[in-house]
Amino acid sequence: MISHKKHIIKYFESGIKDIKNFKMGIEHEKFLFDRKTNKRADYPTIKKMFLLLNEFGWKPIIEKQNVIGLQKKGKSITLEPGNQIELSGDILSNIHEACSESHDYLFELQQVTKKLDLKIVSSGFDPISKLDEVPNNPKQRYEVMTKDMPEGGALSLDMMYRTCGTQLNLDYNSEEDFIKKFKVINSIVPISIALFANSSIVEKKNSGYMSYRSNVWQETSRGGLPEAFFDNMNFEKYADFSINFPLLFIQNNKEYLSGKNYTFLDFMNEKISEVGNRLPTEGDLTTHLSTIFTENRLKKYIELRSMDTCGWDCLCAGPAFNTGILYGNLDETYELISKWDKNKIINAYLEAPKKGFNTELMGKDLLHWSSILLNISKKGLEKRDVLNKSNENEAKFLGHLERLIENKTTNADHMLKKFSKNENLNDLYDK
């Protein structure tokens, strides 16, 4: 049971791993559309797709007699509120393995979507649908979230129903290592937004943003980039942050209850009568930490959350970029960002969704910083020297980003160009 702050600190400490045991996990979300109607896939169609995926060894995850996801060994496929599907990958050792996993998953997905005449869209924001056109599903927690989330952020429902992102989970080997990594990843959020921007089309029009998804997340309840994250955030400080953070929902006897009137501290102080004034379990803590929707967050690992979903050509680039920095070349990156002013970082964070590479940070644009960080990452991946069967190291996955920086364009620019050419929505489907 979690009755004291020290229990939460101990929880974070339990995530400490020896460097030689560092792993990674990738999560990425996709939109599914009916090819004939350009409408988002509804829940009955998703169920058919899940049934077809059983042929590849995926087993159903059931909630109150409804299929809400699939699992296979250490992987899972889950449903987001608007029937976006998310692959949560296995715990793996390197980018070669992670990229191979994503490739296998997308191959399987393509086989079953073809049979159902569905098309996959890899975009950070739904380029086609209005909010009221997006179907939902019977996953219980989303009913509570749909009701409560808008109270804290104007675009919270857009976040739930119309965004897709790529997340990366990485380890730490000490509290000091966590502090350095957390400061680095929060400092480079504006660069991540600009570099992985891929949501410029909204409701079939130019949104005026490079990453409309990031704009939405800035206007989402429980999201953002807190100033406190730049002040050498350690385990105790993050425990304080999470304890005083409002609850989103509480799972009790397989039911999901609104937590909007309580903080986790109330839970720890046995003040929630709706659950019999019981103490929270470690499972309750895990749930709470996973409903803090900041740009980065701490569990028993660090989760990076600032990248738009993108197509196959760049899917592996984001994890490779961050792995090179955090696992391969942390000290050089830390020295670089230590010279940056947190207020200027936050200002760049607020401007980056609209301005992309043209956003200014510390007197230079984000294209400049992207180039520097890419070189740092490349050196880090080369230093790791993890080879595939062709004797190539993980730096091979940075090629997409190298081309973007060389051409001074992002996926968002390509999306705009491709769509505006003939306004053909089919151009936005994954090939």
pLDDT (mean) for 359-381: 98
pLDDT of 313 strictly over 90:
no
What is residue 37's DSSP assignment?
T
- The rounded distance, in Å, linking the Cα atoms of 428 and 194 is 20
Assigned token pair, 54: 């059983």
**Alpha-carbon distance values, 168 to 52, 165, 196, 391, 401 (Å):** 28, 10, 13, 25, 17
Domain 5-245+292-425 has what CATH class?
A: alpha beta
H, E, C per residue of 108-168: HHHHHHHHCCEEEECCCECCCCCHHHCCCCCCHHHHHHHHHHHHCCCCHHHHHHHECEEEE
**DSSP β-bridge partners for residue 77:** 70, 87
Burial class (CB in 10 A: 0-12, 13-18, 19+), 390: exposed
Q: What is the CA radius of gyration of the chain?
A: 21
pLDDT (mean) for 367-394: 98
- The rounded distance, in Å, linking the Cα atoms of 327 and 173 is 11
| Beta-strand pair 249-252/296-298 | unpaired
**Residue 155's pLDDT is what?**
98
**Residue 421's pLDDT is what?**
64
Q: Give me the percent of the chain exceeding a pLDDT of 70.
A: 98
Q: What is the pTM of this model?
A: 0.97
Dump strand ranges (E) for 140-258: 165-170, 201-202, 205-206, 223-224, 249-252, 255-258
Helix (H, G, I), strand (E, B) or coil at 352: helix
Q: What would the pLDDT profile of 121-147 be if each residue is shown by its tens digit?
A: 999 999 999 999 999 999 999 999 999
**Average pLDDT of the chain, as a whole number:** 96
pLDDT of 254 strictly over 90:
no
H, E, C per residue of 56-107: HCCEEEEECCEEEEEEECCEEEEECCCCCEEEECCCECCHHHHHHHHHHHHH
**Chain CA centroid to CA 216, Å:** 13
pLDDT (mean) for 382-398: 98
pLDDT top residue among 254 and 53: 53
**Chain CA centroid to CA 157, Å:** 17
pLDDT (mean) for 323-332: 98
Residue 180 is inside which H or E element, if any? Answer: helix 175-187
95-115 vs 43-53: helix axis angle to the nearest 10?
A: 120
The candidate with the shortest Cα–Cα distance to 95, out of 366, 398, 429, is 398
The candidate with the shortest Cα–Cα distance to 155, out of 36, 17, 293, is 293
Side-chain half-sphere exposure of 337, counting CA atoms within 13 A: 29
Q: What would the pLDDT profile of 152-206 be if each residue is shown by its tens digit?
A: 999 999 999 999 999 999 999 999 999 999 999 999 999 999 999 999 999 999 9
pLDDT tier for residue 68 given thresholds of 50, 70 and 90: very high
155 phi, psi to nearest 5 deg: -110, 20
Q: What would the pLDDT profile of 403-431 be if each residue is shown by its tens digit?
A: 999 999 999 999 988 876 666 667 677 76
- The rounded distance, in Å, linking the Cα atoms of 6 and 235 is 10
- The rounded distance, in Å, linking the Cα atoms of 385 and 389 is 13
